[in-house]
Amino acid sequence: MIYKFKQSPFRFVDKRMFLSNKDITELDKEYRRSFINSLAGFRQAVLVGTQSAAGKTNLAIFNSLIHLGANPALLGLINRPDSVQRDTLQNIQSIGFYSLNFVSGKEYEKAHQTSARYAVGVSEFEKVGFEEEYHSQFEVPFVAGAVVQIAMKFEERIDIKLNGTVLIVGSVQEISVDNSLVGADGFVNLSKAGVLVSQGLDAYFTTSPLGRLPYAKPS
């Protein structure tokens, strides 16, 4: 799709496009959303599994996973403003637990379909074709066969006043990952499993490693 806007804010210098903050605000809404989202680069695609207080399961794709610390092990998710129904956020706050699931690149179409706005109470697991899996001590669904499964406990909600988004802070409670992906030094080789990554709102990739380097110190 080619997006249209009232007047072109672009200026070019030596084949490079320049936009000021004012230029960006004048872009067509749909074009701006696509442009800024993809500008953030490649990010981990993660399927967030939750369950409502009524026992209804939910699965939604996020590309906003943030490492917040290793001791304690904390991960963050950015959730869009909850001015409308946000099943994932509401379920997390209600139950207090949720799952993070990394799937392989071959499942990118099913993973993307979880972003569709299904009616409240409709399970994306069922509609999209992912199988639910449960670990006895947690009341949330995991994606069966996921490369990585992480059980999370909700710890804190941080409202970002500037744009109404919400940072969900959670602590890692349990990790399930194929032993062959974990190196002797603890490094998890996600590219070896062809884990799904994303760019923007609708582009998906798998990664190829360039190499690992030692801890950097002044020479």
| Domain 43-205 part of CATH 3.40.710.10 | no
List phi, psi (to 5°) of 163: -135, 5
16 vs 136: CA distance, rounded Å: 55
- Count CB neighbours of 175 within 10 A: 13
Question: Which residues in the chain land under pLDDT 50?
Answer: 1-3, 5-7
Q: State residue 5's pLDDT score.
A: 46
Question: DSSP 3-state helix, strand, coil percentages of the chain (rounded to 5)?
Answer: 20, 35, 45
Nearest CA among 103, 162, 93, 168 for reference residue 114: 103
List phi, psi (to 5°) of 62: -125, 150
List phi, psi (to 5°) of 7: -150, 145
215 vs 90: CA distance, rounded Å: 40
Give the model confidence (pLDDT) of 21-67 as tens digits: 888 888 888 888 888 889 989 999 999 999 999 999 999 999 999 99
Q: State residue 188's pLDDT score.
A: 96
The residue ranges of every structural domain in the chain are 43-205
Q: State residue 8's pLDDT score.
A: 52
Distances, alpha carbon 128 to alpha carbons 8, 59, 150, 173, in Å: 39, 9, 21, 27
Q: State residue 1's pLDDT score.
A: 46
Residue 194 in tokens: 């062809």
